[in-house]
Structure 1
Amino acid sequence: MAWLSDTAGLPEKTLKFLRNNQPQVMVMDCSHPPRADAPRNHCDLNTVLALNQVIRSPRVILTHISHQLMRG
């Protein structure tokens, strides 16, 4: 399991570790709806999806979800 909170902008070393050790469950913050610009502290949905394309965890659990993410 990987617990990734406040993770916008993971260092390459961390990405490599996660890619090589492919966690079965990844818990990630997803505070923002999809954005055009890169988030600074908390991930948006685009960032979560892009990170999991690299890490390839079979299960991703979102946490720290903003009420703005639920609009639509």
Structure 2
Amino acid sequence: MTDTPKNTSSGPRLTSRAEAARAERMARQAAALRANLRRRKEQARTRQDQTDPATPTSSEPGAQDRHPTGEDKTCP
């Protein structure tokens, strides 16, 4: 039984030009992923700011007596 030796490398050999193109693609992808992560974090911060209860305004009657959930702070 003759088994062919298995190639232990991770893939085909690339020319120096192909390797440079591959490295450029990977660098562009890494930069795009970092930019995407920054955008997603900024979106999450914006959403968090929008969902945080705002401080009560003085124009709303009794606003300072209310809990952020809208319930009165005073006990019955």
After TM superposition, the score normalised by the length of structure 1 is 0.22
More helix by share: 2
Higher Cα Rg: structure 1 or 2?
2
Q: Which has the higher strand share?
A: 1
